Structure 1
Amino acid sequence: MTKEATYAYGKEICSWLSLEHDWTKPQRIWCKNGVKIVQVDSGYGFVAILTDDGRVYLASNDSNWKTNNTFRLINTGNDRFKMIACGWHHLLLLRQDGLVFTMGDNHWSQITGDEKSPYECMIHIDNLENVKLIVGGGLHSLSMTNKGEIYSWGSNDWGQLGLGDEEDRGIPCLVAFPIANSIDIHIKDIVAGKYHSLFLFENGQLWGCGSNSDGELGLGFDRSKPTKMPIEDVQQIACSKFDSFSLAYRGSWYYAWGRTKYGIWSSPKKLNNPHSSFASASTMILSSPHTFGLTSIIHAFGSYDSLSYKSILRLFNNQHNYDVEFIIDKKNIKASKCYLKSASEYYRLMFSGNWIEKNQVIINDYSYETYYAYLLMLHTGKIYIIRQNITELVDLANCYGDERLMEYCESFIRNDLDEQTMPTYLPLIKKYEMKKLHDKLTHLIIEQVLPKITDNLLQNNEKSIEFLNRFYDQQ
C-alpha cells in the first residue's frame, strides 16, 4: 500500500480479481470514485477490504461467497463500517455505531448461535454494543468494547476463548482476567492465532490463552484462562491465524516464539537483526514469510527503509554518543544535535538560534513519553499513536511544523473517529483545521447524529420550537 493506492501480488489473488499476474510487479487494485482502502484482511481462499467511505468488499475463489472473480460489495444501504476481521472461513464487520455483524461459515459457532452458515447476508450479534475492536482467529472470534470489556465466542478446543474451559460458545461471553493491583487493566490490543489468543495491556504486559502445542504461548503448556507471559514492555503484537507462532515488538527489537524454521521456540527469543516491520521479522523465523493486513485501529505509523537504520538508531539516547540532553519531568533523553538538525527543520532553527549554546534543553509543554516517542520517530521513521497521546502529538506536530507527524495523527483520528469519540476529536479537528477529516465528520453527522436529533425532536415539541428558533437566528 502507498499513499495513493493499494496493490495485489500473487497468482491466486490476481485471479480472484481478474487481474493479470506479473511475476515482476504487483497489480494495482482500482476502486471507484477515488476511495481509498484503509484495511485489508484475509482468510482461507478469500480477501476482504474496507474503504475510507465505510464500505466492505470481498473477493474469493470459494463458490460460497459468489464473488465472480471481482470484489463483491458486502454492505448495501446506509450501513457503514470502521473495521473488519477475517477468520479461516468467516468475516466480522464492526459498524460505525459500535455494533458487530458476521457472515461466512458457522460450523464452530464462530459467527454466533445456531445460525446456518450465511455467506450472502450479514448477521447482527445482538448482545454486543459499543464495540471498538474485533478480532478473527482460526475458528474463534473476539471483541473489545469502549469500556475495555473483552468478549469471545466460537471454537474452544484449546481454551483459546479464555473462559476457563474447552467448551465451544455460540454467543459472546465475557473474558475475565485475574487482575492484580500492580497491573494496568487497560488493554491496548488483541490478536488471535490458529488456536490461541494474545492480549496486550497498555503497561506493556502480554497475556495469552489457548494452545501451546507449538510454543505459541511461550508458557510451557495450554492455558484455558488468560495468563501473563514471560515478556515485558511490549509495544505491539502480531500472529498468524494460519500458523503457530507469535511476534512482539519491544522498543527497537522484535521477539518471536512458537513453531519456526529452526524448530519450536518455547519462550520469546530476541531476533538478532533490527527490522522495520512484522513482515520483515517473519523472514527470520519462517520458511515462507508472512505479510500482515493493514489494520484500521492503527498503533504504528511509518517505517525506516534506509540501509543505515542501525547506525542512525545508535545516535538516539546513547550515553556514549550525544551532545544534547532534553530534560522532561526530571528524566532525560540524549541525542545528537547534528542529526536532529538534518532530520527536522524545527531543530535546525532552534540549534542555530535559541538553543545554540545549550547542552541541556528543558521541555515543559509535553510529557516524557510523548517527547520520547517523537524523537524516536525522527530516528526510526516509526511512531506509536494511542488515544492517550494523540492530543499532545497533534499539538507537537503543529508547533514543530512536522507535516509527516500531522498526517499520521490525522490518519489515526480518521480511523478512530465514531459517534462515541467525536466529542474528543472535534475540538482537535476544529483547532488545528484538519480539513481532510471534514468528510468523515459529515458522514457521521448524517448517518449517526441527525437521526437521533430527529427522534429527540419528534418526542418533544418544545425542543422542536427551540431548534427552529436557533436555526433561523443563525440564518
Structure 2
Amino acid sequence: MEEELPLFYGESGKPVQATPSSLKMLDVGKWPIFSLCSEEELQLIRQACVFGSAGNEVLYTTVNDEVFVLGTNCCGCLGLGDVQSTIEPRRLDSLSGKKIACLSYGSGPHIVLATTEGEVFTWGHNAYSQLGNGTTNHGLVPCHISTNLSNKQVIEVACGSYHSLVLTSDGEVFAWGYNNSGQVGSGSTANQPIPRRVTSGLQNKVVVNIACGQMCSMAVVDNGEVYVWGYNGNGQLGLGSSGNQSTPCRLALQGVRVQRVACGYAHTLVLTDEGQVYAWGANSYGQLGTGNKSNQSYPTPVVVEKDRIIEIAACHSAHTSAAKTQGGHVYMWGQCRGQSVVLPHLTHLSCTDDVFACFATPAVSWRLLSVVKKQNYSAVTKINPSDFHKCCSLDTVWLLSGRQHCLHPVCLQVRCEHFRSSLDDSEDDIVEMSEFSYPVYRAFLEYLYTDSISLPPEEAVGLLDLATFYRENRLKKLCQQTIKQGICEENAIALLSAAVKYDAQDLEEFCFRFCVNHLTVVTQTSGFAEMDHDLLKNFISKASRVGAFKN
C-alpha cells in the first residue's frame, strides 16, 4: 500500500471535528494594548489596528461585525463622542455592522476608514483639516466623507502625519489635510480642507497603490511607474535631490516595474514585479538596509536573500522596515527597540505584522490586521507535519490516479462541496479519482488538511485546474496568489495561458500586464514562440490597444 494521507488528524492521531468555531484566531498577543482584553474577547477578534503615539489605542472588529475600541483616546480618536480613556473595550455603535475594508491613521492621531461598500469615515485630530470635513474641529465621532467622493468607491486609504489619501476603484487619488510641503499634491502649500482629486501628473494614469510618509505621498500606477510628492528633506522622494515637490513627479526607475510602495517616517520601500526591493530616504537607524546609516536620495537595491520578496512593510510612525520572502522568511531592519539594524536580519517571526509589534517604536500596526474568512467551513486546528503520514484504518479505499490511500470521507465532506455531494449516497468500498495527476491530488489533500498550499507557480497551475473543476473558490484564490508571486519572464506566457484556460480573470490581467511590462524579454522566450495561435492573436491585439508596440 502507498503511504497514506489521513486527513484532519490532530497530535493525538484522532480525527478533529471541523466547525465554524475553529476559525483561526487573530494573534494579537504581541501588542501590549491587548493585555487589557479578556481571553474571550480576543477569541472573537476578526480585524484589528493598533495606533497612537505609544501604541495605546486600538480598534477591532469581531466575528459579528461589531466594532470595539479601547485606549487613551487622544483627541477623541476612539470615536466614542468623548475624550475619556478606557481600559475596557467599548462598542463603536456608529460603525458596528459595517464591514471594514481598510484603515489608516495619522500622528494626531486621526483615523481614515473605508468600508467594503467604498464609503469613507474619518474622526480624531483635525487641526489641519486632515479629516476632510471642511473644518478644523476635532472629530469625536466617525463622520461619513462624501464631498467629491459620493459617486466613488474607495478601495485603499493612507495617512501621513496630518494629511490623508484615498484611492478609488477607477484608479483616482484624492487628498486633503496638512500641505506645508506639498504632500496634498495640489501645486500649492495651502492646507486642503476637503477631498480633491490629485490630477497633475496623474491625470491619465490608473493608480493601483498609495502610501504616505510623515509629510510625503506616493502612488504606483498600473504600468509599474511610481509618482512622488511632498517633503523631500531626507531624500525620501528618491529624486536625487532634497527639494520638496508640490505635485506628483515620476520616479526614475529604469527597467523596473513596481508593484507596491511602503513609506516609513522618512524613508521609502518599493517592491518590483520580480520580487526585488529598493529603498531610499532617511537612514539614521539603518532602515534602508544598505549596511550603513547614510541617507540615500536615489533608489538603492536592498539585498535580502536569493528568494523572491513577496511583501514589504513600513509605517510613517516608525523607522523600521520589514519584508517577507516567498519561502515564508521574515526579515527586518532599521530601528529595533532603540538599536540600529543596518542590514536585513532574519527573524523567528512568521509575518511582517509581528515585526512592528515586537521591534518597532511605537508598537503599532503597519496595516489593518485581518483573519481571512473561509468559505462555508474553515480549517481545523494545526497538526504536526509527522501526523500527515500516519496510517488510518478505514473501510473505504481511495485510488488517486492509481495510487491507493486511506482517507477520512467525513472530513473530506466537511471541507469540500464536491465530496459532500458525491459521497452522500455512495456505499462503494473503493473510490477512484483519476481526473488529475497524483501530485495535484496530493496537493489538494494537503490543502484540505492544512488550509494552505506550498507549491512552485508552475505546479500551482495544475491545482488551479482542479480548484476550477471542483469550484473551490478559496483554493482557486490561493493558487492565483502563488502563481502571481512566482511569475518571471520565462514562465509568464505559460501562466497567462493557464489563466485564460481556467477563466482566472484577475490572474489573466496580472500576467498580461507583466508580459507587456517585460515585452522585449518575454517575446524572446520559447513560451512565446510556442504560444497558441488564438492566444497570440488576442495578446497582440490587446497589447496594441494599450500602446505596447509604440516607439
Q: TM-score range by the shorter chain?
A: 0.5 to 0.7
Q: TM-score, normalised by structure 1?
A: 0.66
Residue 18 of structure 1 aligns with which residue?
80
Alignment partner of 2:243: what SS? coil
1:70-469 correspondence to structure 2 within 5 Å: 70-76=141-147, 77-112=150-185, 113-128=187-202, 129-179=205-255, 185-220=256-291, 221-231=294-304, 232-250=307-325, 251-261=327-337, 263-272=339-348, 274-275=349-350, 277-286=351-360, 288-294=362-368, 301=372, 312=384, 344-345=415-416, 353-354=431-432, 361-363=438-440, 379=450, 396-400=466-470, 402=472, 404-405=474-475
Using the alignment, how far apart are the partners of 1:59 and 1:124 within structure 2?
22
1:199-245: per-residue Cα shift (whole Å, max 9, x none)? 11232211111111101011033221111111142111111211111
Q: Distance in 1 between matches of 2:94 and 2:479?
A: 26
In structure 2, the residue corresponding to 1:399 is in which secondary structure? helix
Listed as ranges, the gaps of 5+ residues in structure 1 are 180-184, 328-335, 365-370, 412-423, 431-475
The one of 50, 65, 69 aligned to 1:8: 69
Asked if structure 1 preserves the Cα contact closer than 8 Å seen for 2:258 and 2:271, the reply is yes
Q: Equivalent residue for 1:59?
A: 123
Question: Structure 2 length as normaliser, TM-score?
Answer: 0.58
- Further displaced range: 15-24 or 45-54: 15-24
**Counterpart secondary structure, 1:264:** strand
Cα offset for 1:144?
1.1
Match of 2:114 in 1: 50
Provide the secondary structure at the position in 1 that maps to 2:356. helix
RMSD: 4.8
CA distance in 1, matches of 2:93, 2:289: 39
Q: Which runs of 5+ in 2 are unaligned?
A: 1-46, 48-61, 130-136, 393-399, 424-428, 482-498, 506-551
Per-residue displacement from partner, 1:7-29 (whole Å, max 9, x unpaired)?
43323169331268642436345
Question: Does the CA contact (< 8 Å) of 2:101 and 2:155 recur in 1?
Answer: no
**Count of aligned pairs:** 383
Q: Name the CA shift for 1:355/1:97 in 2 (closer, same or farther; >3 Å).
A: closer
- The structure with the larger Rg is 2
Question: Using CA pairs below 8 Å that are at least 6 residues apart, which structure has the higher relative contact order?
Answer: 2
Indicate conservation of the 8 Å contact 1:302/1:382, yes or no.
no
User: How far apart are residue 120 of structure 1 and its match?
Assistant: 3.4
1: CA distance, partners of 2:465 / 2:257: 25
